[in-house]
Amino acid sequence: MKKIIVSMLFLLPLTALADDYGMRVPEWKDFAPSAFVDVEEPKGLGKFNVTAKYWYERKTKFEDALVNCQALESYEDRFSCYEELKVNQFKENTDYNARIEAKQNITGGIPEMQNRTDTMLPINNYINTFSNYMPNEFR
């Protein structure tokens, strides 16, 4: 009886993967930032949120491509479609990050973060200003 139960524990996970032959289907959460995993269509004032709109459009394109891949009959075709989908999503993430970095370089970004050697200078000035006063002293 114990052998049957143990063998069932090993066979059940294998049968669950049998339809895709162990192939891992890409998921949206693997490519999107955690804030935009469950992104929905921007409505109302949310229409002006360019970032949410971008990630929503990418999510719909990803889901459409995933449906097209799942519709393929052949295992090899489906596998190559999934791999192509992954490559395209990683390429889009790289392009998106490059655009964001270029925009920050153009606008200058945070001034303290431009020169790495003096990032502590503003904090140091604040510390020096506050250290001139004793705890219960008023000036």
Query: How much is the pLDDT for 3?
Result: 52
Residue 19 placed within a domain: no
| Of 28 and 119, more confident | 28
Residue 111 placed within a domain: yes
Indicate if the alpha-carbon torsion angle 65, 68, 70, 75 is positive or negative: negative
Predicted confidence (pLDDT) per residue in 71-80, tens digit: 999 999 999 9
Residue 5 placed within a domain: no
Residue 121 placed within a domain: yes
Kindly state the helix (H) or strand (E) to which residue 70 belongs, with its residue range: helix 50-70
**Amino acid residing at 98:** A
Where does residue 93 rank: exposed (0-12), middle (13-18), buried (19+ CB within 10 A)?
middle
Residue 78 placed within a domain: yes
Residue 6 placed within a domain: no
Q: Residue-wise over 60-86: b if at least 16 C-beta within 10 A, else e?
A: eebeebbeebeeeeeeeebbebbeebe
Unique residue bearing structure tokens 């970095």: 101
Query: How much is the pLDDT for 23?
Result: 77
Q: How many domains does the chain have?
A: 1
Predicted confidence (pLDDT) per residue in 19-61, tens digit: 455 678 999 999 999 888 998 988 888 788 888 899 999 999 9
Q: What's the mean pLDDT in 110-124?
A: 54
Residue 58 placed within a domain: yes
Residue 114 has pLDDT above 70, yes or no: no
Instruction: Supply the range of the domain harboring residue 119.
Output: 26-131
- How does residue 2 score in pLDDT terms, banded at 50, 70 and 90? low
- 50-70 vs 75-107: helix crossing angle, rounded to 10: 170
State the average pLDDT for the chain. 76
Q: What's the mean pLDDT in 109-130?
A: 54
- Judge whether 52 and 39 are in contact, CB under 8 Å: yes
Residue 17 has pLDDT above 90, yes or no: no
Residue 96 placed within a domain: yes
Query: How much is the pLDDT for 43?
Result: 86
